[in-house]
Structure 1
């Protein structure tokens, strides 16, 4: 019987402490500074999009882990179909049997996308077990809670995970609930990671926290995008403007901007970059993803989609992102 430890994909860093526990980081910590970025650092320790892949002809997933009380579950997928979904909250120990596998069956273990988890053992034991190195397009996606997807039922059902699975892309998810503020740590991470295609969903956190005004928001977005372009001169970039949020569309925040203002300002930056010669950057209208009636039904708190909403986001954004990703 073979036993192969997890080789993690989708993390910026995996750090093993002196007691053998693995900890995960989705951001370069060099540009984090307490207390200003404590919230961002917390979100960056969460395992959204991080996974391990094997092939096997029989197997048992062995998992020894410990998660925070707010952790979403672990997902185990067999040939792309959910086989096990198990809690990650507290100390957990699992032996998850996978039955009736054909030779070369694909097995994936997805870490909880929300809540912080540490891993003492994650392995696949069985016959013909081999680690898998993903080979699809390398996709970096950055955004807010609407990319982090806390409300998804499990880590394989966030909209980035669904899109990556559909198109066989190598996902790195840089969704940070409440913390998409164009931080230098996020910019640096996006610059350092390899990418064939990049998407960024910008604006909603800046509206909610009133971080940038009319004077500063467009300039900040421009600098953020320009620096990412310098690091990835050939990668197509899709900028997604804020999703529809009915109570916020015309309601000024503390700096006098509505959500519609942030959406218009984001689109204007992309338009300027294209006029200056960057035809590899594209703008997708976030307000068009849901109709007003769908937003009222699928966003119970008027801001975050439910699991059905995230599936619809994947179904509608996926084809648009695929067009951008495959644009020469």
Structure 2
């Protein structure tokens, strides 16, 4: 019986401690500026989108890890179907029987999307086990908690994970709850990572904390987008404006802007870069992802979709993202 250790996808760096534990980082930390970026650094230590895959005919998946009590679970999928969902809270030790599988089935483990995690061992023990190499378009998606998806029942049900599996893309999820503020650390990371397709969901965190005003927001978006375009001159980019949030649409924040104002500013930036010749950058209108009645039903806190809401986001955004990803050959 073979034992094959996990090879992780979706991390920017993996830190191997002297005592054998692994930790994960989703951002380049060179541009963190404590204490201002402490919240961003905390979110970057969480494992949204990080996963491992194997090909196997039978086996037991071994997980030795440690996470916070409020952390998300682990998801184990066999041929795209959820087989196990197990706790990531506290010090955990799981030996999961994958049961009967067709020859050379695809096994995926998705790490908890919320909560700081340390991993001591993740391995698949079974017959004819091999690491499943990455294939498909390399997709970077950047955004807020609505991209990190803490409210999803498990990491495989975050909308970026659903879309990535549906289209066979290699996911790099840069969703940071409360921390999508066009930071240089995020810009630098996106510029350094290989990519075949990039999506950026911008505006909701800026509205909530009034990080940028009418004077500064569009300029910041333009600078962020321009730097990414210089690093990835031929890569299609989809810019997603904020999804509907009913109480915020017409309510001015501390700098006097409504969520609708931020949405228009995002659209204005995309229109400008396209007028200047960048036809590989596309706008996806976030306001159209949910109808008002859907937003009222699927966002219990008026801001974050629930699990059904994230599934609908995947259904609505997936085809639009695929159209952009495939528009330029």
TM-score range relative to shorter protein: over 0.9
Is structure 2 residue 69 aligned with structure 1 residue 69? yes
- How is 1:81-160 mapped onto 2 (pairs within 5 angstroms)? 81-160=81-160
Cα distance in 1 for residues equivalent to 2:82 and 2:215: 47
**Cα offset for 1:137?**
0.2
Is structure 2 residue 7 aligned with structure 1 residue 7? yes
Is structure 2 residue 251 aligned with structure 1 residue 255? no
Cα distance in 2 for residues equivalent to 1:242 and 1:68: 30
Cα distance in 2 for residues equivalent to 1:61 and 1:203: 40
Residue 255 of structure 1 aligns to a residue whose secondary structure is coil
Residue 220 of structure 1 aligns to a residue whose secondary structure is helix
Q: Which residue is 1:165 aligned to? A: 165
Cα distance in 1 for residues equivalent to 2:70 and 2:61: 23
Q: Which residue is 1:236 aligned to? A: 236
Cα distance in 1 for residues equivalent to 2:57 and 2:302: 45
**Cα offset for 1:135?**
0.7
Cα distance in 1 for residues equivalent to 2:222 and 2:173: 22
Could you list the per-position Cα deviations for residues 253-306 of structure 1 after superposition, in whole angstroms to 9, with x for gaps in the alignment? 000100000000000000000000000000000000000000000001100000
**Cα offset for 1:224?**
0.1
Q: Which residue is 1:275 aligned to? A: 275
User: How many residues are treated as equivalent by the alignment?
Assistant: 328
Cα distance in 2 for residues equivalent to 1:9 and 1:319: 23
Could you list the per-position Cα deviations for residues 3-38 of structure 1 after superposition, in whole angstroms to 9, with x for gaps in the alignment? 000000000011100001000000001001210000
Cα distance in 1 for residues equivalent to 2:327 and 2:102: 37
Q: Which residue is 1:316 aligned to? A: 316
TM-score after normalising by structure 2: 0.99
Q: Which residue is 1:21 aligned to? A: 21
Gaps of 5+ in 2: none
Could you list the per-position Cα deviations for residues 62-106 of structure 1 after superposition, in whole angstroms to 9, with x for gaps in the alignment? 110000122100000000000000000100001000111121110
Cα distance in 1 for residues equivalent to 2:286 and 2:7: 34
Q: Which residue is 2:299 aligned to? A: 299
Which portions of structure 1, spanning 4 or more consecutive aligned residues, are displaced by more than 2 angstroms? none
What do you get for the CA RMSD once the two structures are aligned? 0.4
**Cα offset for 1:177?**
0.3
Cα distance in 2 for residues equivalent to 1:98 and 1:246: 43
Gaps of 5+ in 1: none
- How is 1:156-235 mapped onto 2 (pairs within 5 angstroms)? 156-235=156-235
Cα distance in 2 for residues equivalent to 1:33 and 1:85: 36
Cα distance in 2 for residues equivalent to 1:135 and 1:75: 21
Cα distance in 1 for residues equivalent to 2:321 and 2:165: 13
Cα distance in 1 for residues equivalent to 2:222 and 2:70: 35
Residue 23 of structure 1 aligns to a residue whose secondary structure is strand
Cα distance in 2 for residues equivalent to 1:100 and 1:235: 41
Could you list the per-position Cα deviations for residues 172-195 of structure 1 after superposition, in whole angstroms to 9, with x for gaps in the alignment? 000000000000000000000000
